[in-house]
A = this chain, B = another copy of it.
Amino acid sequence: MARRADPDRKKTIVTAAIAVFSRKGYAAARMVDVALAAGIGKGTIYQYFPSKEALFFATFEYLMTQTGVQMENLAAERTGSAAGRLSAMAEAVLIAWMDRLDAYGLVLEFWSATTTSPQRMRFKTAFQNAYADFRKTVSALIQAGMDSGEFHSRVDAGMLAAALIGSWDALLLQAWLDPDFDPLPASRSHMAVVCQGLGVSCKPSVA
């Protein structure tokens, strides 16, 4: 018996998969769990995705794209000082993830998939590109600050960007591991020191 034809059936499935993979991890997740979460039959998933593996990769691409769009939006805001925008980006990234920290487990799954999955190279490449993009964005911000004379210190903007991004990633990880750990003040302390080190006093723009 055909239910109402969901025109976004594929997206529904991906969303359900995200929920299930987040909660139980890829290996422990069952196709039937995804089907239940999506409110459809088990077999139907296979009309849209050829395998569990493929569905997993689809959730990965979905989230990567979503995140990428968010980052672009953040970078598009071109108001204020370089230091201010840098700090604002740190805040935004952290807050965005803190709001759905429960999905962070999925990020860990994706990282792990770079070892585990038969598709590992596709995961790795996608991550490389995503990090490269993000580094470029953050790097441009830093470079702009140096070019404009706002930042006095000379430093490799790309390298610093990698480290900053890293600190955000890993503060979220610590928050995931320990619900009592709040990554925001840590990031603020860090960004303050960094801005100071770049040659300005930066007041983090409190969210």
- Chain A residues with a Cβ under 8 A of chain B: 2, 22-28, 43, 105-106, 108-109, 111-112, 114-117, 124, 127-128, 131, 153, 155-156, 159-160, 162-171, 173-174, 176-178, 181, 183, 185-190, 192-198
Copies in the complex: 4
| A–B complex contacts, Cβ < 8 Å, 14 sampled | A27-B27, A108-B111, A108-B115, A111-B111, A111-B112, A111-B173, A114-B177, A131-B174, A155-B192, A162-B183, A192-B197, A193-B194, A194-B194, A197-B198
Q: Which of B112, B167, B178 contacts A170 (CB 8 A)?
A: B167
Taking CB atoms, residues of chain B closer than 8 Å to A194 are 190, 193-194, 197
Taking CB atoms, residues of chain B closer than 8 Å to A2 are 43
Residue of B nearest to A163 (CB): B190
Taking CB atoms, residues of chain B closer than 8 Å to A114 are 105, 108, 176-177
A109, B116: Cβ atoms closer than 8 Å: yes
Residue of B nearest to A102 (CB): B115
B169, A173: Cβ atoms closer than 8 Å: yes
A160, B115: Cβ atoms closer than 8 Å: no
Chain B's nearest CB lies how many Å from the CB of A110?
Answer: 9
User: Binding site of A, secondary structure by majority: helix, strand, loop or mixed?
Assistant: helix
B163, A187: Cβ atoms closer than 8 Å: yes
Taking CB atoms, residues of chain B closer than 8 Å to A189 are 155-156, 159-160, 163
Chain B's nearest CB lies how many Å from the CB of A95?
Answer: 16
A193, B197: Cβ atoms closer than 8 Å: yes
Residue of B nearest to A188 (CB): B159
Taking CB atoms, residues of chain B closer than 8 Å to A185 are 156, 159
Taking CB atoms, residues of chain B closer than 8 Å to A183 are 162
A155 to B22, CA, bound (A): 35
**Contact of A159 with B115 at beta-carbon distance under 8 Å, contacts A124-B178, A166-B166, A178-B131 already known:** no
